[in-house]
Structure 1
Amino acid sequence: MESLFLERLRQHPLLCDGAMGTMLYARGVTYEQCFDELNLTQPALVQSIHNEYIAAGANIIETNTFGANRAMLETHNLGHQVREINVRAAKLAREAREISGQSVFIAGAVGPTGRPLQAPDEQRLSDLRAIFREQIEALQIGGVELLILETFSNLAELRQAVLAAQEVGGLPIVAQMSFYEDGHTLSGQSAARVAAVLSDLGVDVLGANCSVGPAMTLDALEEMIDSVKQAAVTSSPLFSAQPNAGLPARIDNRFFYVSTPDYFGDYAIRFVQAGVHLIGGCCGTTPRHIAAMRKALDEHYGDEQLQTTNEQQPTRAITIEQKSVSPVELEMLLPQQGTMTPLQEKLAAGEFVVSVELDPPKGLNPTKILAGATLLQKAGVD
């Protein structure tokens, strides 16, 4: 059975969030710090960024786990906290969704290990796969609904990440390579070659992210899409694009990403027209870029078609009014004398009673907890 995420993605394009690292840096977190550790040390900060991207209109938010594999965490002496960091990151993203009351998908972000891969032997590849499997298992425990394997510059390493995800199983796989200005990966593969390998591996979604801006990312995606079409595979993958906010420009000895939100809004339409299904942003992008893409997609295709990833109850304003109740009205509201509720009857008869405690919602949206209470009642809970 196909996942809800893939079902929705086949119906219409979905919008992913933008950069996490860019936002953390803007909030005063230095690059010397381990961004992934912030899931434990500054969870409110991480969750606030998730909230901003949801408010901007993202259909998918990624966990703050790009570097949360054992190899990367060991550089900060945190290798023993792989599971804790990833599970907590997934929980923060899920809580942000609950607080917002919006239906968004939670994606587990998985990045490269940072280890050199010149002429890797079978043992080294096996070790890589084990590193990825450990992180992916933790993300799955945390409750992510898909995986985004991103910013890989070595196809052999990405292949091991895909194989690890498939070994764990149960989650849709988005696999993305980074391409440079010459249209090739750092390890020399063309976009067509990458598409062929990832398609043969059977990933659900393949694409490009990071390194370059929207224009060059679109070039890579068009090559990937053409390659898959020409191969005439029986089960064609879907496609994704999460470009940087352009190439960094040096201004007064500082580097800035200069692609504007409006520019990203224009390219959101171009990506969809080219056949891309999942779009979002990478380094340098902010909630403003995602909001511009959301606006462009809604204006071009209609918000009813693109904005909702799950059926949602319409938002209603609630007015609370104080009213005095007369003794006669109060008597009508209370149970008639001599009558008991079903629960009271079971207790009086000495029958076994089943009760279930429900945690209150994190935000103001009661839909989820009410749906759960209804299911429990139908199952026979008293």
Structure 2
Amino acid sequence: MSNRFTEMLNSHDVLLADGATGTNLFNMGLQAGDAPELWNVDEPKKITALYQGSVDAGSDLFLTNTFGGTAARLKLHSAEKRVRELNRIGAELGREVADKAGRPVAVAGSVGPTGEIMQPVGSLSHALAVEMFHEQADGLKEGGVDVLWLETISAPEEYRAAAEAFALVGLPWCGTMSFDTAGRTMMGVTSSAMVELVESLDPAPLAYGANCGTGASDLLRTVLGFAAQGHSRPIIAKGNAGIPKYVDGHIHYDGTPELMGDYAVMARDCGATIIGGCCGTMPEHLRHMREALDTRPRAGEAPKLEEIVARLGAFSSASDGTGDDEPSERRSRGNRRRR
């Protein structure tokens, strides 16, 4: 299968993705508790500006404003009957921006978690999860996305359900998980376990990796964990712009544009092919990331953990979630979550 995204993935040494959706929209006036997806219809100029900001900063791809676009998430805003409409329009706005860029830019259809816990721990069945992801992906395909982009997933069961839904739609896809609990996802998945999961899927994602989580340092440690498994599938790194801090009544991420430039280069040297930012990442961060990737040569080897800490800051936990230094109680809890 070949389309704009797959061609870019094959022809580029590294692709720069976009930055934060929520952080940028809050700066445009979105209020806490509002559904960003409703802005695809109610504030289309602001969504177009969101996409354009990434393109102008040098991004090779950007994600649509559809992260919470499943029926389960939209039901919280009495919009569960508008799944196809909101996803289609979010994608159409992106398609317009990308097609006017004057260079190849891919539109990635953002698909986030349902917010429900899947069986057997929770009540969401595999079949219903597939149905919800399928409905969302259909709308994104209709709107013209180049690739479906699963992100911020914690549970392997939800990752599998999305993969099945995407196969029904017939579009290529990428998928990231969020490692935010001492090197594991909230449901206990390690970097090595994610690689095993990805390689077991049919169709497998074109690229996989990590997004969000804690700080950039932790995310790069996870990327090193992916690379250590020895597979050739492209790796995605989409880390937060530093650590969130509560300042004057607002959440502020302390990562400077210069730090994110360092992060981008180090992510590439850790083995990532698609590099972007998550929470807190603004166009100014992306511009520094673009410049750093374009002007700084590759290192001869992956950075050591000590170098990552020296450049980007300390890890949030002593363990990456995969070692024998964890207490046995922590390991057993993680094993229970993974079932």
Q: Distance in 1 between matches of 2:293 and 2:149?
A: 22
- After TM superposition, the structure 1 = structure 2 runs for residues 1-382 of structure 1, keeping only pairs within 5 Å, are 1-11=1-11, 12-117=13-118, 119=120, 124-169=125-170, 171-201=171-201, 202-227=204-229, 229=230, 236-300=232-296
Does structure 1 retain, via aligned residues, the 8 Å contact 2:118–2:124?
no
Deviation at 1:301, TM superposition (A): 5.2
Rounded to whole Å, the distance in 1 between the matches of 2:69 and 2:250 is 28
Report the CA distance shift for 1:270/1:123 in structure 2 as closer, same or farther (over 3 A).
closer
Question: In the alignment, is the contact (CA less than 8 A) between 2:99 and 2:105 conserved in 1?
Answer: no
Residue type of the alignment partner of 2:273: H
Kept after mapping to 2: 8 A contact 1:199/1:206? no
Distance in structure 2 (CA, Å) of the matches to 1:14 and 1:181: 28
2: distance between equivalents of 1:42 and 1:241?
A: 30
Q: Distance in 2 between matches of 1:199 and 1:246?
A: 31
Shift of the 196–31 alpha-carbon distance from structure 1 to 2, 3 Å rule, reads same
Q: Name the SS of the counterpart of 2:252 in structure 1.
A: strand
Q: Secondary structure at the match of 1:119?
A: coil
- Amino acid in structure 2 at the alignment position of 1:79: E
Q: Is the 8 A contact 1:249 1:256 kept in 2?
A: yes
Q: Distance in 2 between matches of 1:8 and 1:125?
A: 33
Q: 1:275 to 1:281 in 2, by over 3 A?
A: same
Does the aligned pair in 1 maintain the 2:22–2:279 contact within 8 Å? yes
State the SS of the aligned residue for 2:251. Answer: strand
Q: CA separation in 1, counterparts of 2:215 and 2:139?
A: 32
Q: Show CA shifts across 1:9-66 (max 9, x none).
A: 2331101111111111011110221100100000001001111111000000111000
Q: Structure 2: which 5+ residue stretches go unaligned?
A: 299-339
CA distance in 1, matches of 2:42, 2:7: 36
Partner of 1:329: none
Q: Give the drift of 1:153.
A: 1.5
Query: How far 1:156 sits from its partner (Å)?
Result: 1.2
CA–CA distance in structure 2, aligned partners of residues 293 and 67 of structure 1: 27
Letter matched to residue 283 of structure 1: C
The DSSP-based 3-state class of the residue aligned with 1:242 is strand
Partner of 1:378: none
Gaps of 5+ in 1: 303-382
How far residue 186 of structure 1 moved from its aligned partner, in angstroms, is 0.2
8 A contact 1:108–1:148 mirrored in 2: yes
Distance 2:270 2:126 in 1: 35
Inter-partner Cα distance in structure 2 for 1:68 and 1:105:
20
The Cα of 1:121 is off from its aligned counterpart by 8.2
Task: Give the TM-score, by structure 1 length.
Answer: 0.74
Which SS does the other structure have where 2:89 is aligned?
A: helix
CA RMSD of aligned residues (A): 1.8
User: What is the CA-CA distance between 1:95 and the residue it aligns to?
Assistant: 1.2
Distance across 2 between alignment mates of 1:43 and 1:253: 28
Separation of aligned partners in 2, 1:36 and 1:8: 27
| Structure exhibiting the larger radius of gyration computed from Cα positions | 1
For 1:358, the equivalent position in structure 2 comes to none
Query: Contact conserved, 1:212 with 1:247, CA < 8 A, in 2?
Result: yes
Q: Quote the offset at 1:168 in angstroms.
A: 1.5
Residues 178 and 210 in structure 1, CA contact (< 8 A), matched pair in contact too: yes
Cα distance between partner residues in 2 of 1:6 and 1:79: 32
Q: CA deviation at 1:147?
A: 1.2
CA contact (8 A) 2:244 2:254 kept: yes
Equivalent residue, structure 2, for 1:327? none
Q: Structure 1 residues 293, 88: CA separation in 2 closer, same or farther (over 3 Å shift)?
A: same
Query: Does the aligned pair in 1 maintain the 2:84–2:139 contact within 8 Å?
Result: yes
Confirm or deny: 8 A CA contact 1:10 1:277 kept in the other structure: no
Larger deviation: 155-164 or 142-151?
Answer: 155-164
Aligned length: 295
**2:311: which partner in 1?**
none
Shift in Å at residue 78 of structure 1? 0.4
Q: Deviations over 1:109-150 (max 9, x none)?
A: 000000123525897111001100000011011110011100
Conserved? CA contact 1:155–1:177, under 8 Å: no
Distance 2:108 2:271 in 1: 21
TM-aligned CA deviation for residue 97 of structure 1: 2.1
Decide whether the 8 Å contact of 2:119 with 2:125 is kept in 1: no
8 Å CA contact 1:211–1:247 kept in 2: the answer is: no
**Structure 1 letter corresponding to 2:291:** K
Do the aligned partners of residues 123 and 176 (structure 1) sit closer, same or farther apart at CA in structure 2, a change above 3 Å counting? closer
Amino acid at match of 1:199: E
